[in-house]
Amino acid sequence: MHPILFNFGSITIYTYGFCIAVGALLGFGYMYWQGKKQFGLTFDQSNNLFVMLVVAGIVGGKFFLIFEDPALYLSNPKKLVSGSGFVFYGSLLLAIPIMLWYFKKIKVPVLGMLDVMAVVTCIVHGCGRIGCFMAGCCYGKPTDSIFGVTFTNPVCQAEPLHTALHPTQLYEAIFIFILMTGLILLRSKKKFNGQLFLIYLIAYAMGRGVLEIFRGDIQRGFVIENILSNSQFISLGVISIAAYFYVRLKRKSNLLKY
């Protein structure tokens, strides 16, 4: 596709980074708007949270790269910071405890803010997947279907070039934005605080597990070779934990009604 958005002299603006930046700005805007509207979150509080989540996203996303190829990254740690990408689950799993800690620290309803953050995560992640498509990373397997996309730019990361591949990046982006729309529609109908965030975790993990079947970048790593990828394994754990808390919070909500 178009991994490089444009060159300005010696400065190169990459499409992936641009999409991430757009998603971050849109996500911040939604977080501040809904956080202020629902819980009185100030601009400074929103800004502090945004900075912490950016750091968490980078650190967690890079750290989880190790599990794709432990021998490579442990023997050469510099590759972790060489622009080799991020693992979304690493970013998410580190961001969650930071959000829990920060919401308690500034004394805002933790579960209610997590519902807001579910939509924020969809915004940032969906834009990021569009960036992945433009960069050619996270590409799919070869396909003869009408959905196949052929990557030809030698700068992009898709392999093999000049071969129709499943555009798994777009599959996931579309799925994420549909999920985001559903969460927004459910916002006024939710039965308990935290419900939207848990629905997001369960739905995304299920969708990600299915999308992994069409992924062609096998270097991302497997728990069981060519059967269960690292992301599918993590998805199973996320579904189990989120489902447990969903049932627990729902029961608690039902008890409070009586």
How much is the pLDDT for 212?
94
Q: Exposure of 64 by Cβ count < 10 A (0-12 exposed, 13-18 middle, 19+ buried)?
A: buried
Query: What is the helix (H) or strand (E) element at residue 116, kind and residue range?
Result: helix 110-135
Under DSSP, is residue 7 helix (H, G, I), strand (E, B) or coil?
strand
How much is the pLDDT for 11?
80
Backbone angles phi, psi at 68, to 5 degrees: -70, -40
Q: What is the pLDDT of residues 46-59, one digit of tens each?
A: 999 999 999 999 89
CB 87 within 8 A of CB 215: no
Q: What is the pLDDT of residues 243-255, one digit of tens each?
A: 999 999 999 887 7
Average pLDDT, the chain: 90
**How many residues appear in the chain?**
258
Nearest to 2 by CA among 151, 165, 164: 151
